[in-house]
Amino acid sequence: MPYKILKKIELGNSGSLIEMDIKAPLIAKKARAGNFLLLRINETGERFPLTVADYDREAGTVTIVFQVVGKSTKHLASLSQGGEILDVVGPLGNEIHVKKYDKPIVIIGGGVGIAPCYPQAKELKEAGNKIITIIGARNKELLFWREKMAAVSDDLIICTDDGSEGRKGVVTEPLKEIIQREEIEHVIAIGPLIMMKFVTLTTNGKGDLPLVKTFVSLNTIMVDGTGMCGGCRFLTTNGDIYFACVDGPDVDGHIVDFDNLLKRARYMVDEEKVSLEKYDHECKALKKYAQEGH
């Protein structure tokens, strides 16, 4: 049975960030922070993962937030409120370990990664923890959920690369200051691979700062989401192979070989470009066909 889109709104001012509430009672009943979903828009569509950004057990809905970057996300963004998605599978992956810790937790969201940070901050805050949140983006147009994040944080720090809102600079700068002034239980970082890489380099204890346990969320290429296809495999710094779908998506950031993962993330760039161009061409052709009165 298809899954209905109950709400669709644009976030920020970029026009490329979309929030959707999807009617999925069974998924909403079990969803927790750290879980992800696999979506397939129609019978010819690809399967692609999106992390759970929120859930409402009473309303039976799950919230997703995504950035329009390729064919599938562009197709998803074209659907209207009241539209339907053919397949939504989940909740998949491991939920985060929520309990009361003695020391503060730092949560860092970069770009669209701000969204999956929200349920993590919310669940950890509800457990009685002190939450220090850092959110960052290239500019203020790409920032969103400021009020939601503030509501589940004891302290909210905003960074933009160009200084258009909050502090000018990258998220690792306030992170360094926090680690220097107080002892931290652990860090959670969700966002672009390059951001997560530099967060782990900041917390690995090999520089002037102490070692701080750090978790990152890996949203790699996935097909089945159960560890059978091997598409989401990633190397550790010891050369071991892990699978983001069943060993994650939240994993110990200090074991991830980010250089290898960054290379893997670029493997399908040409194919993704061709797929998007083909989709755009087909959409234009259908629009022209309709305008001609066929």
Inform me whether the pLDDT recorded for 221 exceeds 90. no
| Residue range(s) defining the domain that contains residue 9 | 3-92
Instruction: Give buried/exposed letters for 14-39 (b at 16+ CB in 10 A, else e).
Output: bebbbbbbbbbeebbeebbbbbbbbb
**74 by DSSP, 3-state: which?**
helix
CATH number where 194 lies: 3.40.50.80
Number of compact structural domains in the chain: 2
CA distances from 259 to 13, 44, 70, 272 (A): 32, 33, 23, 21
Residues 117 and 225 grouped into a single domain: yes
Question: 109 and 87, same structural domain?
Answer: no
Pair (63, 32) in one structural domain? yes
Judgement on whether residues 240 and 172 belong to the same structural domain of the protein: yes
Distance between CA atoms of 113 and 40, rounded to whole angstroms?
21
pLDDT in tens, 192-218: 999 999 999 999 999 899 999 999 998
Residue 143's H or E segment, with its range, is: none
Regarding whether 158 and 77 lie in a shared domain, the answer is no
Residues 146/156, Cβ–Cβ less than 8 Å:
yes
pLDDT of 137 reads 95
Whether the bond into 2 is cis, omega within 30 of 0: no
Q: Per residue, what are the HEC states of 153-171?
A: CCEEEEEECCCCCCEECCC
CATH number for the domain harbouring residue 23: 2.40.30.10
How are the residues of the chain apportioned to helix, strand and coil, as percentages rounded to the nearest 5? 35, 30, 35
pLDDT digits (tens, 9 = 90+) for 138-195: 999 999 999 999 999 999 999 999 999 999 999 999 999 999 999 999 999 999 999 9
pLDDT for the residue 285: 66
* Spatial CA neighbour of 135 closest among 104, 102, 112: 112
Q: CA nearest 123: which of 100, 98, 92?
A: 98
**pLDDT above 90 coverage of the chain, percent:** 70
pLDDT of residue 286: 63
Measure the CA dihedral 226/232/237/241, to 10°: 50
Pick the more confident residue, 169 or 226.
Answer: 169
Instruction: Please name the residues in contact with 82: beta carbons below 8 A apart, sequence gap of 6 or more.
Output: 4, 5
Taking only Cα atoms into account, the Rg of the chain, rounded to an integer number of angstroms, comes to: 19
Say if residue 289's pLDDT is above 60.
Answer: no
Same domain, 122 and 192: yes
pLDDT tens per residue, range 18-54: 999 999 999 999 999 999 999 999 999 889 999 999 9
Residue 75 lies in a domain: yes
283 in any annotated domain: no
Asked if residue 146 belongs to a domain, the reply is yes
